[in-house]
C-alpha cells in the first residue's frame, strides 16, 4: 500500500462507505425493522469499531424569541438506537453484509403531513466522509389506529391536517412532542356541529389510548361567547382494544353525540 493511499484514507478520501438495505420501508409502530448493513471497503483497509442505527423523526416547536417574535423551528428526535458491536476490519473494495432486526418504537409517529421518520446508519470509523446513510421509513397506522381513523371517516369526518408539535413537558409521554390529527366534518350527523375534532394516539401495544379534543361549532351569542373563552372544547379519553374494535364506530358516535 502506497504512502499516498494511507494519507488519503486517514483524511476520509477513499474511505469505507455504508448503506442500509431495508427488508421493508413501510411499517406500523411496534413491527420489526430489519435488513442488512452493507459496508463497502475504500482504498485502504480500515477498522470499524461499531455501527450505530438510529431511528429518527422530526417535529415542529414554536416559541417566542427575545424580540417577542413567534418562531417555528423544525427539530429532530431520536426515537431509538440499536448497535452492531461487531468490531472488524474492512479490506480495500471488500463488501461485507451485516443483518439487523429490532422493533420500531410504539411511539413512532404516523407518516402524515410533515412528519418524517428515518433510519440513520453511522459507521464508527475515524475521518470517514461518507460514513452515514439515511433511509426513510413510511410509518402506517397500526390496526387499532386505523380502526379509529376509519370510524371517523365513516361518520363523515375527513383528515385535513396532521403535525408533530413540540411540548414543553409531557408527563403522559417521554417524547418532546405529540402528534395531533385534525378532522373536519364533510357529511353525516355531525356536519356543521363541530369546528374540528383533534385526536392524539398513545400506542401501548395491546391497547390504544386516544385523547379526543372536540371543538364545538359556535351557535348564537352564547356559542360565540363560549368560543371566545375556549369553553367550547371538550377532551375525552377512549381506550381501544381488540375487544371493542367491532363496536368502535358506535362508541365514537355516542361520545361525539354526548359532546354536541
Q: Which residues are CB-neighbours of 226 under 8 A, at least 6 positions away? A: 216, 218, 232
Write out pLDDT tens, residues 188-230: 999 988 888 999 999 988 899 999 998 765 444 444 434 444 5
Write out pLDDT tens, residues 144-190: 999 999 999 999 999 999 999 998 765 667 889 999 999 999 999 99
Q: What is the pLDDT of residue 8?
A: 44
Q: Which residues are CB-neighbours of 188 under 8 A, at least 6 positions away? A: 155, 156, 157
Q: What is the pLDDT of residue 134?
A: 94
Question: In terms of C-beta density within 10 A (0-12 exposed, 13-18 middle, 19 or more buried), how is residue 126 classed?
Answer: middle
Write out the residue limits of the CATH 3.30.1460 domain(s) in the chain. 143-257
Rounded Cα distance between 109 and 119, Å, is 14
Q: What is the pLDDT of residue 173?
A: 73
Backbone angles phi, psi at 197, to 5 degrees: -125, 120
Rounded Cα distance between 213 and 198, Å, is 5
Look at the domain 3-139 and name its fold.
Immunoglobulin-like (2.60.40)
Write out pLDDT tens, residues 16-53: 899 999 999 999 999 999 999 999 998 889 999 999 99
Asked if 120 and 134 touch (Cβ cutoff 8 Å), the reply is: yes
Write out the residue limits of the CATH 2.60.40.640 domain(s) in the chain. 3-139
Cell triple for 211: 385523547
CATH class of 143-257: alpha beta
In angstroms, the first-to-last Cα distance of the chain is 78
Amino acid at each position: 500500500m502506497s504512502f499516498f493511499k494511507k494519507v488519503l484514507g486517514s483524511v476520509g478520501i477513499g474511505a469505507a462507505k455504508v448503506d442500509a438495505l431495508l427488508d421493508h420501508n413501510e411499517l406500523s409502530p411496534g413491527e420489526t425493522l430489519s435488513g442488512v448493513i452493507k459496508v463497502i471497503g475504500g482504498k485502504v483497509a480500515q477498522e470499524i469499531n461499531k455501527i450505530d442505527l438510529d431511528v429518527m423523526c422530526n417535529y415542529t416547536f414554536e416559541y417566542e424569541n427575545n424580540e417577542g417574535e413567534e418562531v417555528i423551528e423544525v427539530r429532530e428526535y431520536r426515537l431509538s438506537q440499536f448497535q452492531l458491536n461487531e468490531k472488524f476490519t474492512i479490506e480495500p473494495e471488500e463488501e461485507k453484509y451485516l443483518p439487523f432486526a429490532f422493533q420500531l418504537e410504539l411511539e413512532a409517529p404516523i407518516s402524515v403531513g410533515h412528519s418524517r421518520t428515518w433510519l440513520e446508519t453511522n459507521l464508527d470509523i475515524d475521518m470517514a466522509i461518507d460514513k452515514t446513510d439515511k433511509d426513510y421509513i413510511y410509518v402506517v397506522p397500526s390496526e387499532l389506529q386505523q380502526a379509529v381513523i376509519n370510524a371517523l371517516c365513516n361518520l363523515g369526518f375527513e383528515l385535513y391536517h396532521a403535525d408533530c408539535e413540540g411540548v414543553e413537558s409531557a408527563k403522559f409521554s417521554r417524547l418532546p412532542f405529540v402528534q395531533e390529527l385534525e378532522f373536519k366534518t364533510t357529511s353525516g350527523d355531525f356536519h356543521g356541529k363541530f369546528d374540528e375534532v383533534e385526536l392524539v394516539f398513545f400506542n401501548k401495544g395491546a391497547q390504544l389510548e386516544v385523547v379526543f379534543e372536540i371543538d364545538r361549532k359556535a351557535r348564537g351569542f352564547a356559542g360565540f361567547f363560549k368560543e371566545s373563552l375556549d369553553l367550547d372544547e371538550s377532551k375525552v379519553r377512549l381506550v381501544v382494544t381488540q375487544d371493542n374494535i367491532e363496536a368502535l364506530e358506535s362508541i365514537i358516535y355516542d361520545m361525539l353525540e354526548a359532546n354536541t
